[in-house]
Amino acid sequence: MTLFSSIEPVRYEGPETANEFAYRVYDKDREVLGKRMEDWLRCAVCYWHSFNWPGADIFGGGTLPRPWLAPKITQEMADEKLEAAFDFLKRLGIPYFTFHDVDAMATAATLKEHDRNLRTITEKMQQKMAAAGTKLLWGTANLFSHPRYAGGAATSPDPEVYAWAAAQVRFCLEATQRMGGENYVLWGGREGYDSLLNTDLKRELDHYGRFLSMVVEHKHRIGFKGTILIEPKPFEPTKHQYDRDVAAVFAFLQKYGLTKEVRVNIEVNHATLAGLDFEHEVTAARAYGIFGSIDINRGDPRNGWDTDQFPNNAQELVPAFIQLIEEKGFATGGFNFDAKLRRQSVDADDLYLAHIGGIDTLARALLAAADIVTERKLARLKQERYQRWDSDLGARIESGAIDLATLADLAVERNLDPAPKSGRQELAESIIARHCKY
Ligand code: XUL
Ligand code: CO
């Protein structure tokens, strides 16, 4: 018996069910455009918000029943947490989870102890994973909570902090590999600054670039087959985070020669904090060839911080899902619920209800996007908008065969006078809206 044992395994019961602990839309074996729903979505529960967060915020302490939590977590407490987490995962019935080193292990004071405690818990995790049939979507090292990382980890002004971070990443990357993890994530929570007055930005970026190169070198040395992912976020906790959005990450990867080695884990709430649409980030990542994975928690449009809420608006997600379908799905990524309960959601059941609602929302968005892609109206609208580029003139420009002066001469000679053409935005928006019927 654990905190999460009161619920029967969650199953698909269809849209008419009155059971709140059943999936109404998420039917894992349902075929959508030739692929099982489960394989499109590759859903993951995150260990930190779900099991390692007591419901504290900056104004008050924990509200959620998480008896295995304390400032110093013993091995017994880590084991109790593991028991509860895998009980939940097994009953929820989705294929993946994600974790930070410190979410799972007993608290460690030294690096040797850190290594030992991480090995202890991840060995036990592997047994649980085998028994529950749960896989690891990604692992990551927490390089932002401990006071030593207040000034950053890979961008710390102190090389000894940098070395600590390197050790933590090495241990966690190797643990992720042993666990069959499909990706390894770096979220640079404090890789940025609070003030430029005390920050050597150029030096920090070079240190960060070298750090990432070392991670990639080590990945190849140990033969880790997963993808290395950077998770962009514009700010919070620092005032400015270097990985502010997909474009900034791509520029960084280009400067340090890593565009073929590292991809992005895009979080909905981070995109909106950057003043961007979620679908913008997915579309940009695809354009740059660095699309990797998604953290699917949303923000609240009324406030400007990272509220990490479970998604519940399918229509909002459909444009990004169209991108995902055009991409033919994730390669190694998936949808990670990097989402937390509200502080008043104090029942054990609330964690189920939150995930079930979120997973059904993804299923709804997938079905709507699949219909839109199959219908092809939206695709045709876009194609027609660019049709003039399929002309001889378009081909000459796109192939690079024409220079500025020749192009200018041609425009003058032909007396070009292109007529304005409708962008059909309202029609495009209506197409999305009318397919959201699941
Ligand atoms: C923080 C955040 C992290 C990363 C993993 O905003 O999203 O939880 O996903 O470190
Ligand atoms: Co995240």
Per-residue pLDDT tens digits for 338-375:
999 999 999 999 999 999 999 999 999 999 999 999 99
Q: Is the CB of 283 under 6 A from ligand 1?
A: no
Is 387 within the bounds of a domain?
no
Asked if the model's pLDDT at residue 267 lies above 90, the reply is yes
Pocket test for ligand 1, best of 228, 335, 338, 340 (most atoms within 8 A of CB): 338
Mean of the per-residue pLDDT values of the chain: 98
Both 221 and 332 in a single domain? yes
Is 383 within the bounds of a domain?
no
Asked if the model's pLDDT at residue 304 lies above 90, the reply is no
Residue 135: which of 39, 5, 216 has the closest Cα? 39
Q: Is the CB of 140 under 6 A from ligand 1?
A: yes
Residue 246: which of 228, 260, 266 has the closest Cα? 266
The whole-number pLDDT of residue 291 equals 98
Q: Is the CB of 191 under 6 A from ligand 1?
A: no
Residue nearest to atom 10 of ligand 1 (CA): 187
Q: Is the CB of 306 under 6 A from ligand 1?
A: yes
Asked if the model's pLDDT at residue 248 lies above 90, the reply is yes
Both 55 and 108 in a single domain? yes
Residue nearest to atom 6 of ligand 1 (CA): 306
319-337 as b/e: b if 16+ CB within 10 A? bbbbbbbeeebbebbbbbb
Q: Ligand 2 centroid vs 294 CA: distance in angstroms?
A: 8
Both 304 and 408 in a single domain? no
Q: Where in the sequence is the domain holding 138, given as residue range(s)? A: 31-375
| Token pair of 147 as six digits | 């006071």
Residue whose tokens read 């899902």:
321
Q: How many domains does one find in the chain?
A: 2
Ligand nearest to the CA of 49: 1
Q: Is the CB of 308 under 6 A from ligand 1?
A: no
Both 348 and 293 in a single domain? yes
Residue 10: which of 20, 32, 422 has the closest Cα? 20
Q: Ligand 2 centroid vs 143 CA: distance in angstroms?
A: 14
| Contact yes or no for 120/106 (Cβ under 8 A) | yes
Both 365 and 425 in a single domain? no
Both 360 and 403 in a single domain? no
Instruction: Assess whether 280 carries a catalytic annotation.
Output: no
| Contact yes or no for 119/104 (Cβ under 8 A) | no
Residue 22: which of 12, 30, 34 has the closest Cα? 12
Q: What is the CATH number of the domain that holds 277?
A: 3.20.20.150
Both 238 and 315 in a single domain? yes
Q: What is the pLDDT of residues 35-70, one digit of tens each?
A: 999 999 999 999 999 999 999 999 999 999 999 999
Of ligand 1's listed atoms, the one at least distance from the Cα of 49 is 8
Q: Is the CB of 204 under 6 A from ligand 1?
A: no
Ligand nearest to the CA of 153: 1
Both 298 and 426 in a single domain? no
pTM above 0.75, yes or no: yes
Both 145 and 175 in a single domain? yes
Is 145 within the bounds of a domain?
yes
Instruction: Assess whether 39 carries a catalytic annotation.
Output: no
Of ligand 1's listed atoms, the one at least distance from the Cα of 267 is 7
- Rounded mean pLDDT of 426-433? 98
Both 364 and 402 in a single domain? no
Asked if the model's pLDDT at residue 194 lies above 90, the reply is yes
Last residue of a domain, which of 375, 410, 426?
A: 375
Is 5 within the bounds of a domain?
no
Is 200 within the bounds of a domain?
yes
Asked if the model's pLDDT at residue 214 lies above 90, the reply is yes
DSSP 25-74: S--TT-EETTEEHHHHH-EEEEHHHHHS--S-BTTB---S--TT--SS--
Q: Ligand 2 centroid vs 19 CA: distance in angstroms?
A: 30
Asked if the model's pLDDT at residue 127 lies above 90, the reply is yes
Asked if the model's pLDDT at residue 141 lies above 90, the reply is yes
Ligand nearest to the CA of 142: 1
Q: What is the pLDDT of residues 71-108, one digit of tens each?
A: 999 999 999 999 999 999 999 999 999 999 999 999 99
| Contact yes or no for 41/314 (Cβ under 8 A) | no
The whole-number pLDDT of residue 90 equals 97
Catalytic residue among 87, 101, 103, 245: 103
Q: Ligand 2 centroid vs 195 CA: distance in angstroms?
A: 24
Q: What is the pLDDT of residues 272-290, one digit of tens each?
A: 999 999 999 999 999 999 9
Q: Ligand 1 centroid vs 131 CA: distance in angstroms?
A: 28
Q: Name the pLDDT band for 303 (thresholds 50, 70, 90).
A: confident
Both 369 and 397 in a single domain? no
Is 397 within the bounds of a domain?
yes
Residue 200: which of 156, 162, 261, 169 has the closest Cα? 156
Is 409 within the bounds of a domain?
yes
Is 172 within the bounds of a domain?
yes
Ligand nearest to the CA of 294: 2
| Contact yes or no for 97/136 (Cβ under 8 A) | yes
Both 313 and 174 in a single domain? yes
Last residue of a domain, which of 348, 375, 402?
A: 375
Q: What three-state secondary structure class fits 347? A: coil
**Phi-psi sector, 74: left (phi>0), alpha (psi -120 to 50), beta:** beta
| Token pair of 101 as six digits | 């080193």
pLDDT > 90 fraction of the chain, expressed in percent and rounded: 99
